[in-house]
Structures are given as C-alpha cells and as structure tokens.
C-alpha cells in the first residue's frame, strides 16, 4: 500500500512579501465589493480586473520572461492565488489561461503558439476556456466524440462540447477532439487544438444554472476548419497531456476556498451580534481546524510541484476533502444564523443563497467525488 | 524525514515489531506490566528524546519526537511512552534532572512548603499511574513572569483506579511529602492539556495509518460473492475516505509539532486544530475499519480492536473535538471574520 506524502513546506520570503503587496492591492481594489460578488470567487468574470492583475505581473508568474511571464516560484504563485480567492476577487476571466492553458502550451505548444498566445494571457488580455466534456461524457473523457478530420484545408471539426465554462466570453478554446478510433484503446486517437472562438461554424449557447447564472455553455462545431498549426502536441497523443492538465486543476487552493468569503462574513456577523453560542463556537472552530489543515495540505502539494515531484494522488486527496468542507459551509451558515436567505437582500444573505444553490457543483467540477475516490483507491492498491 | 527521524522510525518499528507481540498486548490488558518492552524502549533512549544533551537526553526537537509519538499509535504500544516523553520534557524545560523509569504527568495544584513544593490535593485521572515510578505535577506559576511550576514526585500512591477503553489505567494519585525537585518552565498554563492533546493527536495519526493498512490488506484477502471485497466500489470508496482522513491528521500533527518547535507558547492554534481533526477522524476511521473487517474484526481474537479501542479512547482524552473547536471558534469570532484569514496564513 502506498502512503500519501505531504512533506511540510515553508513559503519563501518572496512569497510572504508578495502576500502583503497583494493584500494592500485588494483592500483598495475590492473596497465595497459586495459579498455576493465575493462568493463567486473564481467564477466571477471581470475583464478590467484581469487586465489590472496582468499589469501587476500576477498572471503567468512562473512562466519564462520571453513569453510575458515573470519566472517566479510556484509558491509565490500559490500565495497570489490564495490571497485572491480568500478575498473573493473576480479572477475567472484569466483563470483558465493562467492555471491550465498557459502551462499546457509551455509543455506541448509550438514556439509559434507560445509567442502568439502566452504574452496576451499574461497581460490579462486573452481569455481561455477548456473544451473537454461533451454530452454523455461527464468525467469519462475517453468517450469524447467530437470529430476532427484532416483535410487539405486543415482539420474539419463537427460535434458538440458541453459544460464549457466561460466559452461565451473567452477568446480561445483548448479543445479535445477525436482524431481517430483505435480498437481497444479508448485513450488513443484524441488530439488537442487551439480554437479561436470567432472561427466560422462555431455556435455558443450559454446554459443557465439553477442559481440563474450562466457560466457554462454548449458549443456546437459545424464544419469548423482549424489549421494544423493550431494543433497542440502530438496527433492522437492528447491523453497524457489532458491528465497532466487535470493535475493542475485539482491541486490548487480553489478546491477548498470557494466558500471562504462566506465563512469570513459568517464569522464576522456572529462576532458583530455578540451573542455567539457555544454551538456557534464549536461549529466555527471545527471549520477553522479543517480549513487550516487543508491549507497545510494544499501548500504541501504546491511545494512538491515546485520541487518537480508529481503529487497527483495527493492533489486528489485535497480536492476530495476540500469539496466536503466547501459543501458544508452554506448549510452551516443556514443552521447557525437560523434564518432563510432571501434573494435581493445583498450582503451575506445573498452570498449564502448563491452558495446554497452552487454547492452541488463543488463535488462535480474538476472530477466527481466518485472519480477522485476511485483514483485514491487505486493509489491504495485496491484497483 | 531528516536523518534522526529516519533513525528513530527504523529503530521504533524494528523494536515494536520484534518485541510487541499480540501476547504482550493481551497480557498488558490483563494488568501485567510489560517490563521487557519497557527496558528495550529505555535502552534505546526513547523516553529522553526531548531531553537536552546536558541532562543525558537526545536533545531532539518536537518534529523528531513526533516519530515516536506516532509509533505509540502505529504499534498500539501498551506503555506510558508518550507520558514519559512529555513528563521528561516538562522537567527538562524547568531545569530539573530527569530520573530513569516510566513517569506520568497531570495538572495539579501545588503549594510551596518548607521542604519544597507539595500537592494541595490528589491528582485526578493520571494515566498509567500504577506503573510509574514518578509523577510530574504541572501547576500555573503564581509568579508575575507566567509559566508553570513543574514538580517531580517519587513513589506515587494510587487511589481509585479505572481502566480506559484501551484497557490502560487512569488513577487518582496522592503523594506523601514534598517534591524531590521542582522548577519553573516558560510554558503555557494549560501545558498538561495542550501537549497531552498533541501527543494523543500524534498517536491517533499513527493508529489511523495502521487501521488503514490493516483494512486495505484484509479487503484484498477476504473473498465474498466470488471476488475480494476490495473489488467492490463501495468498499473502495470507504477506504479512500479513511485514507483522506488519515492523511489529514498526519498533516495537522506535523504542522502542530513544527509550531511547538517555533514557539511552544504560540502553538495553541495548531495543536487545537490537530486535536479537532484527530478526534473527529478517530471516530470515522475506527468505524470504517470495522465495517471493512466485518464480524471477524469485532472479535477479541482478531486484534483490530487493539487499535480501534485506542482510537475511541484517545479521541476524547485531553479534550475532544468539541473542546478544542470551541477554543478555535471563540477566538475566530472574537477576532472578527476579516482577520481570520491572516490567522490561518500565519502558519
């Protein structure tokens, strides 16, 4: 049986200095930013804010300077992320490019692709989305059917992507298409492409979620032509690229901090009322203990990534425990404040109402709980 | 792990695997003191791991001692090893020479008499008191400089004794006469509770790793409905959940030990967080381990219970999850929601 490794990690001085800088910036920038908006955290889209972050040098922090990056440590970037998320900053516009698409292009992109896209991601001007999932596919990415056929004019794409976050506002999609059907090899025959979303033949339909927001989309491809120069990595070789990409998606602090802005509001209100009961204190204390521990685990994963290790299993542990904590938060706010949260009231109530309705997605996005527990079980040697 | 930690882990694992047989555990539960095992532990210097070299100890730090405190759980050690490591550390911190033999500790009321420090009344719920040659009493100092009085008493007299769920004794203790030595340590007033909680959290971390290993192994061997039960998804997911809790407690305990190394007087937050996590996870872990083992794990003969009964016992000792959660929650609420993040990131 493999035991999971979470080596303790000390943040470097550069990260601690950066934390103060970011806190000061956000205190000014988000002054008066409503609780409801803060509750959206990494789902909140604000192109202007993203450009400011880009100017500050806080996108693509670890990338080479030649591509607009800043060659800083992954732990500096970690601190930037946790400060943005805990404050509830609207980072969705540049989020995917910074977290996934940039690193993917650095690993697998051509020199031309890197020069074309990375500097604009880093400056907060070019926004990305990820076209992986499809109707009937869910967590099962090997079942992707949207087809890209090589023709004289380039790759001709037909099919539909689903649950594509931010596609209606992004400039570019990194899309996973089926380029071949290999008998007995579900992971073969998949290829990734950079698709400029203003390419003719693409229809993007936002899908409203149950909170009334529309952040994900259905994206329909009808005879869309994608030049071969937009292919990322090897033809038919996307599986290993995609699994590496998912490790970035599962290891970050967003996997336990989605509800943090609500927690801060809840603790503040209990304090302001001055009537916190023993039960309030115990319940809040439990969350503080779990939050602090999850943060230590998450920092440890960041430290292992910085050291060049592959903590994919540990990242799954953090995401599973993190989603359990996050999902408990809105219900806990309901229990402790003992009032129904009405819409349109602004402040904490509106934030809590939003999160009550969004919490079901926390154990779905980035891999369902069942998939994660399957990965952990494999790590234990059970599968 | 650093070199010392690797050495301690290897030595402890070898020693306990060789000498701590099931018969030794059973005999200990029937009241027989495992003298050979204790001798081996003492020969290897484990009780003095945190004692300074000047007083004949190993001069190691808390993260190093953690290896041994976890081993108490991994191997379900029926000895007051954690108690002795802590009692000796308290003595060393107070500038008092450390005696040989098993020592236990508890918080108490001390009064200053003509012959030295004396107990104001009997000490309650002292673990392993009947097996220990000495007892350390911890009492808030009445001086203006804070800290605690640490007093060492020989030949504790055991009064009313009970047994924990782990079949280890806890007893009321009185002593005749004054302390044989005492001193002032610059440690928190609630040191007995605080560091007791850390020691139990570490033991829970070790025990959770052990029951996880046992459950994974058993699930691979036990065939039902034509295949090992480890092939059932429901069983896999239960064990995955146990593994996430075991990992979480391990991380929380590591963080707490590092906090003590940095400053024992500023480690309360991290120790409290570790005990909350450990006590909650102890319940979940014991439950999943038993569910995986089915009826056989419920028998005395099988032996899983040496670990699960310790998990149940250690969870509430030195303050359960609610006790420490209330402390964390009260501080968070008083500090205000907008400064909570600064507290969390100060670690």
Q: Write out pLDDT tens, residues B44-71.
A: 999 999 999 999 999 999 999 999 999 9
Tell whether A270 is within 8 A of chain B (Cβ).
yes
Q: If pLDDT is split at 50, 70 and 90, which confidence band does A1 have?
A: low
Exposure string of B185-214, with b = 16+ CB inside 10 Å and e = fewer, is bebbbbbbbbbbbbbbbbbbbbbbbbbbbb
**B238-272 tens-digit pLDDT:** 999 999 999 999 999 999 999 999 999 999 999 99
How many residue pairs from chains A and B have C-beta atoms closer than 8 A? Answer: 174
Residues of A whose CB is below 8 A from B330: 276, 281, 285
What's the mean pLDDT in B279-301?
Answer: 98
Query: How far off is chain A from B198, nearest CA to CA, in Å?
Result: 14
- Distance (Å, whole) CA A9 – CA A15: 12
Q: Which of A67, A73, A137 is nearest to A97 (CA)?
A: A67
**Cβ–Cβ contact B329 with A under 8 A:** yes
The candidate with the shortest Cα–Cα distance to A326, out of A356, A370, A368, is A356
What local confidence, expressed as pLDDT, does residue A250 receive?
Answer: 75
**Chain B positions in Cβ-Cβ contact with residue A337 (cut-off 8 Å):** none
- pTM for the full model? 0.95
Nearest of A292, A89, A184, A150 to residue B256 by alpha carbon: A292
Share of chain A above pLDDT 90, in %: 83
C-alpha torsion angle, residues A108, A111, A112, A118 (rounded to 10): 70
User: Rounded mean pLDDT of chain A?
Assistant: 94
Tell me which residue has tokens 């009964």: B309
- Per the DSSP assignment, residues forming a β-bridge with A196 are A172
Instruction: Give B336→chain A minimum CA distance, Å.
Output: 5
List the single residue in A8, A265, A285 with the smallest CB-CB distance to B328. A285
- How far does CA A333 lie from the centroid of its chain? 24
The pLDDT, as a whole number, for residue B312 is 98
Q: Strands A202-207, A216-226: parallel, antiparallel or unpaired by DSSP?
A: antiparallel
First vs last Cα of chain B: how many Å apart? 20
297-356 in A: which are within 8 Å (CB) of B? 297, 300, 314, 317, 320-321
Mean pLDDT of A266-292: 96
pLDDT digits (tens, 9 = 90+) for A112-166: 999 999 999 999 999 999 999 999 888 788 899 999 999 999 999 999 999 999 9
* Cα separation, A209 vs A207, whole angstroms: 6
Q: DSSP string spanning A171-213?
A: SEEEEEEE----TT-TTSSEEEEEEETTSTTEEEEEE--TTS-
Condensed to tens digits (0 to 9), the pLDDT of residues B299-334 reads: 999 999 999 999 999 999 999 999 999 999 999 999
B window 285-324, beta carbon within 8 A of A: 321-322, 324
Asked if A292 reaches chain B (Cβ–Cβ under 8 Å), the answer is: yes
Cβ distance B275 to B318 under 8 Å?
yes
CA distance B285 to A306: 32
> Per-residue pLDDT averaged across A75-94, rounded?
97
Nearest CA in chain B to A298: B251
Contacts of B209 in chain A (CB under 8 A): 3
Query: Under an 8 A CB cutoff, do A377 and B236 touch?
Result: yes
- How far is residue A144 from each of residues A98, A134, A147, A159, B59, measured CA to CA in Å? 25, 6, 9, 10, 60
Average of per-residue pLDDT values in chain B: 96
Rounded Cα gap, residues B99 and B81, in angstroms: 14
Q: How far apart are CA B192 and CA A300, in angstroms?
A: 30
Are residues A46 and A116 in contact, defined by beta-carbon separation less than 8 angstroms? no
Q: Which residue of B has its CA nearest to A15?
A: B345
Q: Which of B193, B239, B183, B233 is nearest to B216 (CA)?
A: B239
Q: How far apart are the CA of B335 and the nearest CA of chain A, in angstroms?
A: 8
> Phi first, then psi: what are they for A359, rounded to 5°?
-55, -35
Which residue of B216, B334, B338 is in closest CB contact with A1? B216
């Amino acid at each position: 049986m493999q035991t999971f490794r979470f080596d303790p990690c000390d943040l470097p001085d550069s990260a601690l200095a950066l934390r103060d800088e970011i806190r000061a910036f956000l205190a000014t920038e988000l002054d008066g930013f409503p609780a409801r908006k803060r509750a959206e955290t990494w789902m909140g889209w604000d192109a202007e804010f993203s450009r400011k972050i880009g100017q500050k040098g806080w996108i693509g922090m670890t990338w080479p300077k030649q591509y607009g990056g800043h060659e800083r440590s992954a732990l500096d970037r970690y601190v930037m992320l946790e400060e943005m998320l805990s404050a509830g900053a609207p980072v969705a516009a540049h989020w995917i490019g910074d977290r996934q698409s940039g690193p993917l292009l650095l690993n697998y992109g051509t020199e031309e692709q890197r020069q074309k896209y990375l500097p604009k991601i880093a400056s907060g001007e070019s926004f990305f989305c990820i076209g992986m999932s499809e109707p009937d596919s869910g967590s099962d990415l090997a079942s992707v059917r949207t087809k890209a056929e090589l023709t004289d004019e380039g790759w001709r794409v037909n099919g539909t992507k689903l649950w594509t976050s931010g596609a209606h506002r992004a400039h570019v999609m990194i899309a996973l298409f089926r380029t071949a059907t290999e008998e007995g090899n579900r992971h073969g025959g998949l290829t990734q492409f950079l698709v400029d979303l203003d390419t003719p033949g693409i229809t993007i339909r936002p899908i409203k979620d149950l909170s009334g927001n529309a952040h994900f989309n259905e994206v329909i491809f009808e005879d869309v032509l994608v030049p071969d120069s937009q292919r990322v990595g090897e033809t038919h070789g996307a599986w290993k690229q995609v699994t590496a990409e998912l490790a970035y998606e599962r290891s970050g602090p967003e996997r336990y901090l989605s509800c943090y802005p609500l927690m801060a509001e809840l603790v503040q209100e209990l304090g302001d009322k001055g009537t916190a009961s023993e039960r309030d204190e115990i319940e809040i204390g439990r969350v503080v203990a779990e939050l602090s521990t999850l943060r230590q685990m998450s920092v440890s994963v960041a430290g292992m990534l910085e050291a060049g290790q592959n903590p994919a299993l540990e990242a799954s542990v953090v995401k599973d425990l993190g989603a359990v904590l996050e999902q408990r938060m809105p219900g806990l706010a309901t229990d402790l404040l003992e009032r129904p949260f009405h819409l349109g009231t602004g402040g904490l109530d509106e934030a809590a109402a939003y999160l009550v309705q969004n919490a079901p997605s926390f154990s779905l996005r980035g891999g369902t709980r069942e998939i994660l527990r399957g990965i952990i079980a494999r790590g234990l040697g059970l599968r | 792990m650093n070199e010392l930690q690797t050495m301690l882990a290897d030595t402890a694992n070898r020693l306990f695997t060789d000498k701590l047989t099931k018969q030794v555990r059973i005999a200990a539960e029937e009241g027989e003191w495992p003298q050979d095992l204790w001798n081996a532990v003492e020969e290897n210097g484990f009780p003095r791991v945190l004692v300074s070299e000047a007083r004949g100890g190993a001069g190691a730090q808390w993260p190093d001692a953690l290896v041994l405190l976890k081993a108490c759980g991994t191997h379900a050690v029926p000895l007051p090893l954690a108690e002795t490591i802590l009692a000796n550390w308290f003595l060393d911190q107070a500038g008092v020479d450390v005696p040989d033999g098993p020592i236990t500790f508890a918080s108490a009321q001390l009064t200053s008499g003509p012959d030295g420090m004396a107990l104001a009344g009997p000490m309650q719920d002292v673990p392993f008191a009947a097996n220990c040659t000495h007892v350390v009493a911890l009492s808030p100092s009445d001086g203006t400089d804070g800290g605690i009085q640490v007093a060492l008493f020989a030949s504790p007299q055991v009064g009313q004794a009970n047994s924990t769920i782990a079949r280890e004794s806890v007893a009321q203790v009185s002593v005749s006469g004054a302390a044989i030595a005492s001193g002032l340590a610059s440690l928190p007033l609630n040191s007995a509770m605080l560091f007791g909680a850390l020691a139990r959290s570490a033991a829970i971390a070790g025990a959770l790793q052990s029951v996880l290993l046992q459950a994974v192994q058993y699930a691979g061997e036990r065939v039902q409905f034509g295949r090992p039960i480890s092939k059932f998804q429901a069983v896999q997911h239960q064990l995955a959940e146990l593994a996430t809790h075991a990992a979480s407690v391990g991380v929380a305990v590591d963080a707490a030990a590092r906090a003590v190394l940095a400053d024992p007087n500023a480690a309360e937050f991290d120790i409290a967080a570790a005990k909350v996590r450990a006590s909650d996870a102890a319940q979940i872990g014991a439950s999943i381990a038993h569910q995986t083992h089915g009826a056989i794990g419920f028998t005395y003969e099988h032996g899983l219970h040496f670990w699960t009964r310790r998990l149940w016992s250690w969870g509430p000792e030195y303050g359960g999850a609610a006790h420490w959660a209330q402390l964390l929650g009260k501080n968070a609420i008083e500090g205000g929601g907008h400064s909570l993040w600064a507290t969390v990131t100060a670690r």
